[in-house]
Structure 1
Amino acid sequence: MADTCASDYDSFVVYDCDIGTDDAWGLAMLLRAEGLRIAGRKSFKVAAVTCVQGNTSVENGTLNAFRVLSTLERLDVPVFEGCADPIVPRTWVIKSHFHGLDGFSDVGDYPTVNADDLRSEEHAVNAMYRLACQHPGKVDFLLCGPLTNFACCINLYGDKFLDKLGGVYIMGGNILGKGNVTKSAEFNFMMDQEAAHIVLERLKQPALILPWEPCIDGEYGLTLGWRLNVLGAVKHPFVELLTRVERAMLVPRGFEKWVSCDALLTAAYLFPQQMIADEREYYATVELCGVHTRGQMVLDHLRGRFVDAIHGKTKNVRVIRRLNAEPFRTIISYTGFLPQADIDMEKLCRDEQQQS
């Protein structure tokens, strides 16, 4: 894609991720949507992919980012390697690697990329700050992995960074205490609890959060059979790679539904009117000291009905509680190059603009 003057864009996106399959779907969705006219804005540009520890090591995640971009013929998108470890060293051991050791279920036979030539020497944290300074108020951050990079940028640059942010969108946390890595903590928040706490405490405008429960409990009508046999039949390098990975990852575990949490957040970012069925503002924080609840996102469900005499906190998050299924199927079909999906996507863009 030819480079364009910054004034040609209404907004820029930094996609912060720990690339496994769900991050890969979200990134592909963003890149597919770059040329669409959504909700009346001129256009947006993916300014950077920043990588962090999480589903796999930051080195593997960075390499996976290049692999995804290669399949999409978008190696023009800058990729920045970020934090390799959480802010506070872990005292617990990760016993299960859901995405395999390399983030792609260790299936091998990946697209050949020379990461050493492509990887920027600039650290992801510094790249986040630089881009916010270059485009103040116009850079949206989609945070689809542990929040280490973003929290470190806040700690390093403080208000000079916070005052220049556009929107902040987070996939992580939970609203009912349902965990997926411990009995009460969601993976992204648990992989760096201090980072999640810093981000929620320091932001000056409410972040939009998609927690774990609306993803896993929502009925999106997407079966694993549809994913592997219908969407998976598309002859495109990106789809073929992700189909091999997801087949190896999900079939042996007996999954019947197909859910991609980071893609759901990205769809909600792109099409908020169509995707978000229910959201509410809360004050949220992260439990750091609980024996059984460390890493859990805690919401003030009183929501201002009574004065919090201890903390006196104001609402700092907009929490998505329910998403719509039908538009997501259209968006993910378009993302996966499914034939005829372009027609449905054009209608979705028109509907989004009319409702915005």
Structure 2
Amino acid sequence: MPVPVILDCDPGHDDAFNILLAAAHPAVELLALTTVAGNQTVEKTTLNARRVCEVAGIRGVPIAAGRDRPLRGGPDREPRVAADIHGGSGLDGPGFGEGEPDVPQDPRDALTLIRDTLLTHPAPVTLVPTGPLSNIATFLLAHPELTPRIERIVLMGGSTGRGNTTPAAEFNILCDPEAADIVFSSGLPITMIGLNATHQARATPEVVARIAALGTPLARLCVQLLTYFAGTYREVYGFDTPPLHDPLTVAHLIDPSLISLVRAAVSVELTGTHTRGATVVDLHGVTGRPANADVGMEVDVPGFWELVIDAVRVLGEPAEGPPDTP
């Protein structure tokens, strides 16, 4: 049976590929997309989710906007965005045009869509947040009675080592450390796919060439996304090839053997002068705290890219129409 999934995302170049993977693979039942402020404002991330779904022919998956700022935020605490990596639109590179996508935004807010989906789906649902954890933490606080309807949380965020936004903190966790602390303290089954794993999944020129060789409009868009992403990663971080972080979450659900996991206690630093937003991962059990997460470690990189490239191929193929009639 496919894994029922709600993607909570902030598209974002790597989020775009995660949406494609979740929609294309039969092992995943994509129930809903919710968006959050992160890589760009929530207005832009919601528009980007709709644009990706339009180009990829993804229909019938409701898309709802969520929080526009951190959980403990107020007028004096604006959301952090990653324009240096994802551009002013959050999805710079491709020419999407100025028109409205034909994929609508659901009139519900993200929390209501998550609630309705959990209540109506016959089986518990896996939440896959790949941006700041603001929506998920807010939902857990608002609806503790629905936690039995959540199978697990598989998130992209944090790291067992260094950060990427500060020396200690990864972007998604740093955007809303209090929300991350609530999620990791929830008692729900959590899988954390952090930078230590995602930095292994680089979009090399060989990978980009394989996608380009598919020759479809969707493949061309994906090449444009990866080309822009490669440029910003080279300029900001000095990486020769960009890592594709977020799709490792859905890839793990499709094929758990692609990423090795270790059980560990994960804490989120809330007050450190230089370490706020860091995920403190006790890999060696030195703190004595009970493990609360499965943490991604080693990635089968060729296997991961096979899934991603196949998703671009599947969604790029023309849909079968009705048979011709004389």
Q: Which of 150, 154, 173 is the aligned partner of 2:158?
A: 173
- Distance of aligned partners of 1:109 and 1:57 in 2 relative to their CA distance in 1, 3 Å threshold: same
- For the pair 1:145 / 2:131, whether they are aligned, the reply is yes
Match for 2:224: what amino acid?
Answer: R
- Kept in 1, the 8 Å contact 2:203–2:244? The answer is no
**Map of 1:14-163 to 2, 5 A cutoff?**
14-34=6-26, 38=27, 44-89=28-73, 90=77, 97-105=84-92, 107-110=94-97, 112-114=99-101, 118-135=104-121, 137-158=123-144, 160-163=145-148
**Counterpart code for 2:217:** P
CA distance in 2, matches of 1:88, 1:154: 15
Residue range with higher mean Cα deviation, 318-327 or 97-106: 97-106
Where do 5+ consecutive residues of structure 1 fail to align?
1-8, 39-43, 339-356
Q: Distance in 2 between matches of 1:267 and 1:215?
A: 12
In 1, the alpha carbon distance for the partners of 2:10 and 2:202 equals 26
Q: In structure 2, do the counterparts of structure 1 residues 226 and 125 end up closer, same or farther at CA, with 3 Å as the change threshold?
A: same
Q: Which of the numbers 257, 263, 279 marks the counterpart of 1:281?
A: 263
Q: Deviations over 1:273-304 (max 9, x none)?
A: 2x02x31111211000000000001123443x
* TM-score, normalised relative to structure 2: 0.86
Shift of residue 253, structure 1, vs aligned partner: 5.1
CA distance in 1, matches of 2:277, 2:233: 26
1:136-179 CA-to-partner distances (Å, cap 9, x unmatched) read: 65211111111111000011112x12122112101101112x11
Residue-by-residue CA offset, 1:176-209 (whole Å, 9 max, x unaligned): 2x1111110001101111110110011x333011
What is the CA–CA distance in structure 2 between the aligned matches of 1:199 and 1:87, rounded to whole Å? 12
SS in 2 for 1:118: coil
Offset at residue 29 of structure 1 (A)? 0.6
Number of the residue aligned with 1:12: 4
Q: Percent identity?
A: 26
Q: 1:331 aligns with which of 302, 307, 310?
A: 307
Under a length normalisation based on structure 1, what TM-score does the superposition of the two structures give? 0.79
How big is the alpha-carbon RMSD for the aligned residues of Structure 1 and Structure 2? 2.5
1:229 match: 209
Q: Structure 1 residues 113, 294: closer, same or farther in 2, change over 3 A?
A: same
Match of 2:293 in 1: 317
Q: Which amino acid aligns with 2:159?
A: N
CA contact (8 A) 1:14 1:141 kept: yes
Question: How many matched pairs?
Answer: 308
* Contact persistence 2:12–2:45 (CA under 8 A): yes
In 1, distance between residues paired with 2:48 and 2:202?
Answer: 28
User: Equivalent residue of 2:149, what SS?
Assistant: coil
8 A contact 2:198–2:245 mirrored in 1:
yes
Change in 2 beyond 3 A, CA 1:150/1:136: farther
Amino acid at match of 1:249: F
Measured against aligned partners, the alpha-carbon deviations of 1:239-273 in whole angstroms (never above 9, x if no partner) come to: 22232233233236544324211112211111002
Query: What secondary structure sits across from 1:83 in the alignment?
Result: coil
**Paired letter, 1:205:** L
Letter in 1 for 2:295: V
CA-to-aligned-CA distance 1:203-225 (integer Å, 9 cap, x gap): x3330111111211x2x5741x2
Change (3 A) 1:137 1:194: farther
What is the Cα deviation at residue 111 of structure 1?
A: 8.1
Amino acid in structure 1 at the alignment position of 2:135: N
Q: CA deviation at 1:95?
A: 7.7
What does residue 173 of structure 2 align with? Answer: 189
Q: Which runs of 4+ in 1 moved over 4 A?
A: 91-96
Q: Distance in 1 between matches of 2:202 and 2:46?
A: 32
Query: Of the candidates 208, 221, 237, which is equivalent to residue 191 of structure 2?
Result: 208
Compared CA separation, residues 102 and 211, structure 1 to 2 (3 A): same
CA spacing shift, 1:329–1:228, aligned 2, 3 Å:
closer
Deviation at 1:323, TM superposition (A): 1.1
CA contact (8 A) 1:54 1:191 kept: yes
1:346 alignment partner in structure 2:
none
CA contact (8 A) 2:39 2:82 kept: no
1:148 partner letter: S
